[in-house]
Amino acid sequence: MSTEVLETLIHSQLPAAARGDRDAYGRIVAGCQSTVTSIALAIVRDVHASEDIAQEAFLSAWQNLRKLNNAASFLPWLRQITRNLARDHLRSQYRRAPPGGDVESLIASVADPHPGPAEQLGDARDHAIAAAVIDSLPEESREVLLLYYREGQSSRQVAGLLGLQDAAVRKRLSRARERVREELLQRLGEFAKSTAPGAGFSAAVLAMLMVGAPPAAAATAFGAGALGAVNGATKLGIGALGGAFAGIVGGLWGVWFGVRKLLRQPFDERERRGVMAYALFTSALTVSFSIGITLLARVPGWIPHLAASVGFAAGMVFACGWWFPRILARRRAHELAMDPVGAARRQRHERLLGRIGAAAGLVLASCGVALGLWMSGRMG
């Protein structure tokens, strides 16, 4: 997408997005995702982390979109949000190891024109090599070079996306070529193109607009599981099984999507085990409830169905409201120690999102239970 087309897209879609139109914002995300992920990757030198950061940047921009008065300021504003989040990420990785381990041996293995079987590179090795090459670049050249390869090697396009002059982009590219051997730049170019975000990235961002934070994700799972299962409970046979399946799929997606970043980048092994236990518990709760309430479709009366729903709600409130915050307590304390003002602001925001998500999940689930019981004739 050319810079002119992207600017037109932002100007046309931003007013609707500011009014809460997620589809309009999704089109903006699709247009800007390459720029945002490249900026994050240039700072953190890790593809998975860069995508997580880019998603957080788009979520943060969405939540503050009404504060933006000028559509022309959107892209510079989004770039700065991304850089701030990426630097926060680096500060939080206080035990961060060098990205590729033995950088010289990694570079040598790429430069070797006849690598042996043991040196054949998989995805993890390619990522490590790319991180090593990025580290060797001048800091000012990293964003430019990654975006240059992802945008069809057009310096003019990169200049427009980063708010630079074309001459400045060309100068930074020249400096990068002076610092890094050509074969390594070619490998970095292939890596940049192969890891560019696709349609799935913007779909994940749109999902995050509904989820927000891990506790809210679990609450959303609660709503999805309850509504899907109780809907299925109003029918018999295949219809009920289909409703249970929809509830299970929706619930499990919400749980695991919400904790994926914490499992990829745990604070320590203790936190990783705790998050995994939390995810397994809420998954089991969602599956049990979806199947159980479907099996109750043939049971007369409404008390068993209400009891099952209340039990499920109590389990989710315990997991999201009490257990999960304690799993993250050491991470939160460390973040506050590293950045008292910024971390406190982010944590307040996360708590607010969690409460909103939990309330929305409880309301949706309660409505689903009541509707299902009424439609089945149990509360006539």
10 Å CB burial of residue 335 (0-12, 13-18, 19+) is: buried
This prediction has a pTM of 0.53
Instruction: State yes or no: pLDDT of 153 exceeds 70.
Output: yes
Count the domains in the chain: 2
Neighbour tally for 109: CB within 10 Å: 17
Query: Residues 45-68: what's their mean pLDDT?
Result: 88
Domain end marker among 143, 167, 199: 199
The pLDDT value given to residue 349: 73
Q: Is residue 206 part of a domain?
A: no
Record the tokens describing residue 34, joined without a space.
């390459």
Instruction: State yes or no: pLDDT of 116 exceeds 60.
Output: no
Structure confidence by residue, pLDDT tens digits, 324-359: 888 888 888 877 777 677 777 777 777 676 666 666
- Of residues 160 and 151, more confidently modeled: 160
Query: Residues 50-57: what's their mean pLDDT?
Result: 90
pLDDT grade for 360, boundaries at 50, 70 and 90: low
Q: Which of 217, 229, 284, 207 is nearest to 254 (CA)?
A: 217
Q: Which of 209, 223, 221 is nearest to 361 (CA)?
A: 223
Q: Is residue 380 part of a domain?
A: no
- Tell me, rounded to whole angstroms, the distance of Cα 154 from its chain centroid: 28
Q: Is residue 58 part of a domain?
A: yes
Q: Which amino acid is at 261?
A: K
Q: Is residue 147 part of a domain?
A: yes
Furthest C-alpha separation in the chain: 79
Q: Is residue 207 part of a domain?
A: no
Do 186 and 227 lie in one domain? The reply is no
Instruction: State yes or no: pLDDT of 229 exceeds 60.
Output: no
Structure confidence by residue, pLDDT tens digits, 178-204: 777 776 777 777 778 778 887 677 766
Do 153 and 42 lie in one domain? The reply is yes
Q: Is residue 288 part of a domain?
A: yes
Do 188 and 220 lie in one domain? The reply is no
Q: Is residue 160 part of a domain?
A: yes
Do 171 and 258 lie in one domain? The reply is no
pLDDT grade for 368, boundaries at 50, 70 and 90: low
Please state the φ and ψ torsions of residue 212, each to the nearest 5 degrees: 90, -65
Do 233 and 181 lie in one domain? The reply is no
Instruction: State yes or no: pLDDT of 278 exceeds 60.
Output: yes
The pLDDT value given to residue 132: 76
Rounded distance, CA 129 to CA 99, Å? 8
Rounded to the nearest integer, the mean pLDDT of the chain is 74
Do 145 and 247 lie in one domain? The reply is no
Do 315 and 369 lie in one domain? The reply is yes
Do 304 and 346 lie in one domain? The reply is yes
Domain end marker among 143, 169, 199: 199
The pLDDT value given to residue 375: 57
Name the percent of the chain lying above pLDDT 70.
66
Structural domain including 124 reads: 3-199
Residue 98 DSSP symbol: P
Do 125 and 189 lie in one domain? The reply is yes
- Of residues 135 and 298, more confidently modeled: 135
Do 150 and 30 lie in one domain? The reply is yes
Domain end marker among 150, 176, 199: 199
Do 182 and 244 lie in one domain? The reply is no
Q: Is residue 204 part of a domain?
A: no
Do 222 and 181 lie in one domain? The reply is no
